[in-house]
Amino acid sequence: MRLAEILQGLAAKQEELMKIEDEILDYQQRNSGVKESFPSDSEKLMVFLENPEIMRAKILNFITESDVRLEKMEADFKESREKLLRDLEELQNQQSHQSSSSSEEMLKNSKKLEEMRTEIERNNCLAEKLRSRLEQISKKDLDRGLMIRRIMEMTGSIQKQDQEIQKVIMENLSVQRELKWLTQTLHRTFNTIEETLFR
């Protein structure tokens, strides 16, 4: 849940940065156009206005205010960029921690799997000895029912352990798929963020 929230927040920040960049570019273009309209002989243009000095002052004041707004937007952009970088670092740390936890879980499951395989081999060996003994003992000295029940118990135990092994294998596959999905998602997110931040 935390990872999904961070990814969603990063996407929102990315859109916000793109909007700020577009607004900065728009202000720069507007300011450039206004400033270019005031060459060194701009007084000739003011002759055609009723109050040229007032109009000139208003326009220059507008340019000054635009510069102030532009500086504020650039500061906001810098702050948003730094916040996005911090979120990116947090996401990288979280992904590293989650990868470590997944690796530990896979190692634990592998050890459990190996222990169960060893136990199955031991039970198989014991079952084989019981079968061999069953063949060697005479019918009248053998409690067939007891021996058969013992063999059936051993067989059932082997089947149960085999089911547990399959369960552990499926858990490992699930962890691997989740880890692969997280890695791919993070790579795509990092690439998109890096393109936005450093273009």
pLDDT at position 160 over 80? yes
Among the residue ranges 26-40, 77-91, 98-112, 167-181, the one predicted with the least confidence is: 26-40
Return mean pLDDT, the chain.
Answer: 72
Which of 83, 101, 110 lies closest to 182, judged by CA?
101
Euclidean distance between CA atoms 186 and 192, whole angstroms = 10
pLDDT at position 183 over 70? yes
Q: In terms of residue numbers, what domain contains 189?
A: 2-198
Q: Provide the whole-model pTM.
A: 0.36
Q: Can you tell me the mean pLDDT for 103-114?
A: 76
What pLDDT digit, counting tens, does each position of 58-69 carry?
777 777 777 788
Euclidean distance between CA atoms 83 and 87, whole angstroms = 6
Residue 48's pLDDT is 46
Residues 6+ apart with CB under 8 A from 35: 63
Q: Can you tell me the mean pLDDT for 6-22?
A: 73
Euclidean distance between CA atoms 77 and 16, whole angstroms = 9
Domain count, the chain: 1
Among the residue ranges 2-6, 47-51, 160-164, 188-192, the one predicted with the least confidence is: 47-51
When pLDDT is cut at 50, 70 and 90, the band that residue 1 belongs to is very low
Q: Can you tell me the mean pLDDT for 168-195?
A: 73
What pLDDT digit, counting tens, does each position of 125-157 carry?
887 887 777 666 655 555 667 777 777 888 888
Buried b (16+ CB within 10 A) or exposed e, 46-59: eeeeeeeeeebeee
What pLDDT digit, counting tens, does each position of 22-55 carry?
777 776 677 666 556 555 455 555 444 455 566 6
Q: Can you tell me the mean pLDDT for 75-94?
A: 78
pLDDT at position 121 over 80? yes
When pLDDT is cut at 50, 70 and 90, the band that residue 190 belongs to is low
Residues 6+ apart with CB under 8 A from 70: 24, 27, 28, 31
